[in-house]
Amino acid sequence: MSAEAPKPRVAALALAVGLVLADSSIVVLALPQIYRELDTSVAGVTWVLISFNLVMALAAVPAAHLARRVGPGRAAAVGLAIFAGASLACGISEQLSTLIAARCVQALGGAAAVTAVLELLPASLGSERRATALWAAAGATGAALGPAIGGLLTELVSWQSIFLIQVPVALVAAVPILAVARHEAATGVLSAELRQTGRPHMLANLALAMVSAAIAAALFLLVLLLIEGWRLTPIGAAIVVSVMPLSALVGSRFGGAVESARARAAAGAILVSGGLGGLALLPKAEVALTIPPQIMVGIGLALVLSALTETALAGRAPQAIHGGWTISARHAGVVIGLLALTPVFTADIAEQRHDAIDAGTAVILDSQVPPLLKLDLAQQIQSRLEGEKGRVPTIGPAFEPLPDDPEERDAVVQLRDELQEQLNRGATHAFSPSFGLAAILGLLALIPIGLAKRVDL
């Protein structure tokens, strides 16, 4: 194959990587809507995210080996076709079980496509280093943009549209790759010679897994806090969480000035942990207060992910296999983060909900509102709580219509605000331990990062 492949092919390869890796996070903002529409639990809906990442983690390395045996062009084209078909199945799923099954198939196709692309890119760009850089950048861009795109589609169309729109995109990406597949079929020549596979960089991949766990938790928990806790719309939440990818762009510029991958990885892990620590200690339920921690996490993730991926791939051949290991480590980290933290925060949210309702009841009992109106409000609030199935309730409608009497109206408005404040406190505090644990996980990644200098496994 020519060293100067046509630009549409390179763009298609990058698009394929971005599309697949966006899927690890694209449904994050749709989870609350899926949770409500499919009538499931928080733990259940988390599997829409976990299943994809788990299969990616398990399938990435075998898929890379397969791509090298059958030909990366064919593996990428078939992988994208499977990905498109499974995306369609996700989009028309009416049950959680079928959605999760389709997500698993989607990840299988995605794993084949992403690892095969890393095998195709060096031939298309004429340089293994440039190929690695483009592959990593396309993946990071997709993963970073995923939540915002998913949030926009969820609110403007539906959660199903997130998957349906991926069908034509995957097919468009597959078309230029088909030429490579046809070339492989016609000539029987693979784009890269089969070489001995070296051992993966254990410490870099371990650190990648730990940092990915912390970052996934940050994104997932923040979205749930914004939508379920503070009642933002998916678009509102998408705008808020887009601070993280924007900061990641800035972070990638910082990284260029420092040669030491170990220093970049360490600084990135510290920033991710610091940002998560900030989210664990939010002093008020205000969106603006999530911005500084998000900036820190965004800059940190750009530094640490690129440094660790670079370390894991440096001097190791073949790139597709070691790229497969990094994909596997990152997605395994996401799964571990979600599995470890979901039970923690679901337990905390139940406890905090109870405390918030108690505090809210105290506010009603001690308020200046007339007793009969108080009783009426208490009963309306009680019925809203029962209708919310364990989630943090919205109590505003229970106060409508407001009384005509100005004095009574003021007392009711004050009561409503105080009650909402208690619920906000409960919702925010419920996420604190999970953010705190994620911060610790990010800090623990410093151990393999620190050891990586002395022992190169």
Binding positions for another protein, rule: CB under 8 A: 254, 257-260, 262-264, 266-268, 270-271, 273-275, 277-278, 280-285, 289, 292-293, 296, 300, 303, 352, 355-362, 364-366, 370-372, 375, 378-379, 382, 422, 425-426, 428-429
Closest distance of CB 167 from another protein, Å: 41
- Least distance to another protein from the beta carbon of 117, Å? 31
Task: Tell me what percent of the chain is helix, strand and coil, each rounded to the nearest 5.
Answer: 80, 0, 20
Instruction: Encode 74-96: b = buried (16+ Cβ within 10 Å), e = exposed.
Output: bbbbbbbbbbbbbbbbbbebeeb
Q: Tell the smallest beta-carbon distance from residue 445 to another protein (Å).
A: 13
Count CB atoms within 10 A of the CB of residue 178.
16
Q: Please say which residue, 281 or 413, places its beta carbon nearer to another protein.
A: 281
- Nearer CB in complex with another protein: 108/398: 398
Nearer to another protein, 128 or 421 (CB): 421
Least gap, CB of 368 to another protein (angstroms): 9
Residue among 58 and 285 whose Cβ is closer to another protein: 285
Judged by beta carbon, residue 85 or residue 403, the one nearer another protein is 403
Smallest distance from another protein to CB 426, Å: 5
Residue among 215, 220, 221 nearest 247 (CA): 215
Contacts of 250 (CB under 8 A, 6+ apart): 298, 299, 302
Long-range contacts of 349-356 (CB under 8 A, 24+ apart): 349/42, 349/392, 349/427, 349/430, 349/431, 350/390, 351/430, 352/426, 352/427, 352/429, 352/430, 353/390, 353/391, 353/392, 353/426, 353/430, 355/426, 356/392, 356/422, 356/423, 356/425, 356/426, 356/427
Residue closer to another protein, measured from CB, 164 or 263:
263
Q: How far is the CB of 408 from another protein (least distance, A)?
A: 12
Chain centroid to CA 415: 38
Q: Find where tokens 């943009």 sit.
A: 145
> Alpha-carbon distance 25 to 38, whole Å?
19
Least Å from the CB of residue 378 to another protein: 6
User: Smallest distance from the beta carbon of 281 to another protein, in angstroms?
Assistant: 3
Q: How far is the CB of 411 from another protein (least distance, A)?
A: 12
The answer for 411, left when phi > 0, alpha when psi is -120 to 50, beta otherwise, is alpha
Angle between helices 406-444 and 261-280 (to 10 degrees): 150
Q: Which is nearer to another protein, 245 or 274 (CB)?
A: 274
DSSP string of 410-421, one letter each residue: HHHHHHHHHHHH
Nearer to another protein, 52 or 345 (CB): 345
Q: How far apart are CA 29 and CA 228, in angstroms?
A: 11
Closer to another protein by CB, 319 or 424: give it.
424
Q: By the 8 A CB rule, do 42 and 90 touch?
A: no
